[in-house]
Structure 1
Amino acid sequence: MGSAMAMNIHKAGFPLIVYNRTRSKTEPFAKLGIPVANSPREVAEKSDVVIEMVTDAPDVEEVLFGKDGVVHGAHPGLVVIDMSTNSPDYAKYFAGKLAEYGIEFLDAPVTGGDVGARQGTLTIMVGGKREVFERVKPVFEAMGKTIIYAGDVGNGQMLKLLNQIVVGIDMLAVAEAMALAKKAGIDMEKLFTVLSTGAANSFTVQYYMPKMMKGDFEPGFRAAHLKKDLKYAIETTNKLNVPLPGTALTLQLYNALVAKGLGEKGTQALLKLYYELAGINDG
């Protein structure tokens, strides 16, 4: 997703320098004459705004505070935007530690998947100082269609975790309906028509169910990443004493999916687990 988002920033006319831990992933940018940095430090030295999009909080910490991290290229006015998904607590931790170097911070996770990243139609949820958000808002508008200022640092991550709760439980519901339909001999195309045109309609039904019907489990969003997001949601709800049994169940099912070696498949691979539990041989 990060590469597509960076390309949209370039297309919007912003000067750009890129870095990736896997250098081959920067080749499309180099071919366009876009400079490729050798480290996050170099990106920071040559930028007013640093955006990082990585897998999890430890990766964010390495990019920001590692040996050649962003903080070593700090200069007055630098803004760091974390567009990864982790947790409100991590966002506050990153903001506090960056402030020691005079760096402003926004947490700005996204939803909309690989399609939204390519098309520049992501929904972006932003936490941090309002004046910093307003200063960099045109950059967000290059990547997303719906930009939401969520308030204080951490609120962007909180909104994203709430989104992931619904995403996960919605996938569980679709997988359960499809497993029962398969066992009961219901035509899957007819089930799709009912779900996609009635009260059960959702992005999961529209986008993922056709893939599930074809046995296409390649990732638009990886199962292991949803497991990680739901883990952060459960950690947060435990601190706030809010019971979320549906989220807890969904996390355990994705734990099982990852344990079966399917973590790098798309979230829709949950159907494979349901078919196995129901004794359905789908080839």
Structure 2
Amino acid sequence: MNPPADVARNSDVLMIAVLNGDQARGVLEGPDGVLAGAHPGLAIVMLSTITLDELDGLVEQATKHNVALLDCGVTGGQLSAKGEMISMIGGDDTVVARIMPVLEAFNAEVHHMGDTGAGMATKIARNMIHFTVWRAGFEGAQLAAKAGVDLEKFAALVENASHKQGASVTTWMTPEKIVPGSDPREVGKHTLVYHQKDMDAARELAEQLGVETPTCDVARAKGPQTYLQE
């Protein structure tokens, strides 16, 4: 296998997909690293999800070699093999435009989110939502199961109801769009009443059944901040 430096010497666009920041640094630096084979016009695309501090350090190293390093979060899971990934990239407009044909070759969608760091910040925030929703789903399933509900029926109901009701994790990201023409704060006040009532019922049931629901507890406590932007 050719070392990263050789790959860089023979590439115009080079993508790095590893587990974490330490591995990314290992690929970039050193006598056989990507930067050892850097040349004018090379664009490095960081596909791995790393911290913004780690990204800043790698961008600084790339800049010393007169190389552009762009951050590009990717998502798609099993759809990746079918070319149906979605990418969110951050970086200079000119460089992003230059490498766009490469990105479009393996993505269903490519979103330029802003300057350097914007792509990674988007991926991190999106993943935070993703994993938090999974935890909430786990807690809800535990609560339902302890109450004697069939989990297969419960999962099917939750999935179907979410689609039918148009419920989305993005709903309260832009409250002014929930009921066009209405005061978002008034909509929030109305929603908060039901939120507190139903979350209190969930906490009471969880206590009765001995189910831990920390995500529910936080959501209940942060209701005013969520709906009233307080």
TM-score (norm 1): 0.56
Is 1:180 aligned with 2:176? Answer: no
CA contact 1:42–1:73 (8 Å) conserved in 2? yes
Q: Separation in 2 of the partners of 1:92 and 1:153?
A: 9
> Is 2:102 the counterpart of 1:152?
no
The counterpart of 1:127, out of the listed 82, 86, 90, is: 90
Aligned-partner Cα distance in 2 for 1:191–1:135: 48
Match of residue 81, structure 2, among 118, 121, 124: 118
Unaligned stretches of 5+ in structure 1?
1-36, 202-276
Q: Which residue is equivalent to 2:218?
A: none
Structure 1 position 109 matched with structure 2 position 73:
yes
May I ask how many residue pairs the two structures share in their alignment? 167
Match of 1:83 in 2: 47
Give a deviation string over 1:67-116, Cα, whole Å, max 9, x none: 31001111111110000001222222212210111111110011122x12
1:77 & 1:196 partners in 2: Cα distance? 47
SS in 2 for 1:170: helix
> Which structure has the larger Rg over C-alpha atoms?
2
Deviations 1:19-72 (A, max 9, x none): xxxxxxxxxxxxxxxxxx421111101111110100001111110012310011
- Tell me if the contact between 1:88 and 1:153 (Cα under 8 Å) persists in the aligned partners: no
What do residues 101-155 of structure 1 show as CA deviations (whole Å, max 9, x unaligned)? 1111110011122x12112111111011111111111111122112110111111
CA RMSD of aligned residues (A): 1.8
Q: Spell out the pairing of 1:32-43 with structure 2 (5 A cutoff).
A: 37-43=1-7
Equivalence for 1:18:
none
What pairs up with 1:85-100 in 2 under 5 angstroms? 85-100=49-64
CA distance in 2, matches of 1:146, 1:86: 21
Paired residue for 2:100? 137
- Deviation, structure 1 residue 166: 0.6
Deviation at 1:278, TM superposition (A): 5.1
**1:165 and 2:128 equivalent?**
yes
Q: Structure 2 unaligned runs (5+)?
A: 165-209, 213-230
**Which residues in structure 2 correspond to 1:61-72 (within 5 Å)?**
61-72=25-36
Residue 163 of structure 1: how far off its partner (Å):
0.4
Q: Check conservation: 1:87, 1:154, Cα contact below 8 A.
A: no
Q: Kindly, what percent of the aligned residue pairs are identical?
A: 32
Q: What SS does structure 1 have at the residue aligned with 2:105?
A: helix
Q: Distance in 1 between matches of 2:132 and 2:163?
A: 13
**1:89–1:154: 8 Å Cα contact kept in structure 2?**
no
